[in-house]
Structure 1
Amino acid sequence: MRMDASPTPQKPAQRTAQILREALEYDIATGVFAPGTRLDEVSLAKRFNVSRTPIREALIELSASGLVEIRPRRGAFVQEIGVSRLIEMFEVMAELEAMCARLACRRMTAGEHADLLAAHEACAAAADAGEPDAYFYANETFHDTIYRGSGNGFLADQARALQNRLKPYRRLQLRVRNRVGNSLSEHQAIVDAIVAGDDRKAEAALRSHILIQGERFNDFVASLARVEPAQARRLGM
């Protein structure tokens, strides 16, 4: 029997570090901070009007996700991840999530089905509102519900780890034209298959859902070239 602990409310300092991390993720993914760039704590603290402590915490979190490298006595630097490497990571992500979907078909409870439907409805609401960032967060919950539903804690941990590594890129690909609407349609096919217990269809649908992100990566990269500097920094406190 799986027992999920109730989520602990975030303290203000934790929330600040999370917002800073997301802002820095966005800037890294959009090229505001190019690979190899040193992320100076003092400059970032001044930019966001905070102390260096939450900046340092955000950089540590980014280091754990693989976006930033912290070098002893030198500071934090943006990791270099080439396009071909990203495509490879999306391929692995697709297989991990496909396995989660296959197992979820067999192991999800009625309550977990209800959670999945609720997560899907939240995605639909965000899509209808035309809010890609809100969709991104609802989408995270949708996928994590499937990870948990797999009933395999190790697999879920591996999927989450790679999802965190790809988070800024999964976030920004939602800004490619029509991607949110297409993503929602793909979610519907995944939900239908899981609820019906069709493990082969669910596995194929989720694999295709993730691989589309990789295949459309060129569109995503092209879209970044049109992002204005002000837009790239618009994720505020």
Structure 2
Amino acid sequence: MSRLSETLREAIEEEVATGKLLPGTHLDEIELAQRFGVSRTPIREALSLLAGEGLIEIRPRRGAVVASVSPQRLLEMFEVMAELEAMCARLAARRSAEADLQRLDEAHQACRSAAAERDPDAYFYANERFHTALYAASRNEFLGEQAHALQRRLRPYRRLQLRVRNRLQRSFDEHQAILDAVRAGDEARAMEATRGHVVVQGERFTDLLSSIAQLEAA
């Protein structure tokens, strides 16, 4: 795959994450090629990459469409995400170096600023930095790759969560608990804080489904 294909993949993925491309949307290769000013070949390669991530589906006679996820499947994915990140946090509490903690803290401070400004978009990107730093701090490259892959798949839904009222401040407080536990080397507390931060159950899951319905209606 070319660098251009990777750039296009990121651009289309961002449109899915931000809700510009909704589940079920047909992705026409010709229209995308014209919009991005490229040939169809890198577009086709980018769509193949996105299909590999599960963000889009290639359907017979219909071509590429943005993937739809059932509520049950979404819940299962968040459950797995919570366990992967909890494992990252446990290993980070055991293995992280000062440089790892510095990267976590820098991302955490960016989250603080975004939360104070009530800017869910800025918080979304700072939040991604925080979680990516947590994966790196685990010092387990394979685990980080698996967590990052599922994070990409869940990007649109993790972004929507941040638009729920008061979620930014709660998320920031949860990050603080994770950071404190990792810094203290408390593996059990780091796991529990991270699992609770990521897993989506009860009212949080209902809020997420409501946000999806509102976005699709709009």
TM range (shorter): 0.7 to 0.9
Partner of 2:11: 19
Distance 1:214 1:173 in 2: 13
Mapping of residues 88-237 of structure 1, within 5 Å: 88-212=76-200, 216-227=204-215
- Taking structure 1 as the reference length, the TM-score comes to 0.79
Q: Deviations over 1:82-104 (max 9, x none)?
A: 11011001001111110110010
Q: Percent identity, please.
A: 53
Unaligned runs of 5+ in 1: 1-10, 233-237
Distance 1:227 1:69 in 2: 20
More helix by share: 2
Taking a change above 3 Å as real, the CA distance of residues 88 and 114 of structure 1, as seen in their structure-2 partners, is: same
Distance 1:49 1:108 in 2: 41
Distance 2:32 2:206 in 1: 30
Farther off after superposition, 18-27 or 89-98: 18-27
- The residue type paired with residue 186 of structure 2 is D
- Taking structure 2 as the reference length, the TM-score comes to 0.85
CA contact (8 A) 2:79 2:199 kept: yes
Distance 2:161 2:38 in 1: 32
- The residue type paired with residue 188 of structure 2 is R
CA contact (8 A) 1:65 1:164 kept: yes
Distance 1:76 1:214 in 2: 33
Taking a change above 3 Å as real, the CA distance of residues 147 and 214 of structure 1, as seen in their structure-2 partners, is: farther
Distance 2:36 2:103 in 1: 38
Distance 1:134 1:156 in 2: 23
Q: Deviations over 1:36-95 (max 9, x none)?
A: x5321223455x464454644542342122011235775213334211011001001111
Distance 1:121 1:142 in 2: 10
Distance 1:165 1:17 in 2: 13
SS of structure 2 residue aligned to 1:76? strand
Mapping of residues 34-73 of structure 1, within 5 Å: 34=24, 37-45=25-33, 48=35, 50-53=37-40, 55-71=43-59
Distance 1:45 1:69 in 2: 18
1:15 Cα deviation from its structure 2 partner: 5.0
- The residue type paired with residue 111 of structure 2 is C
CA contact (8 A) 2:91 2:138 kept: yes
CA contact (8 A) 1:44 1:55 kept: yes
CA contact (8 A) 2:23 2:68 kept: no
Distance 1:214 1:142 in 2: 25
1:138 Cα deviation from its structure 2 partner: 0.9
Distance 1:78 1:137 in 2: 22
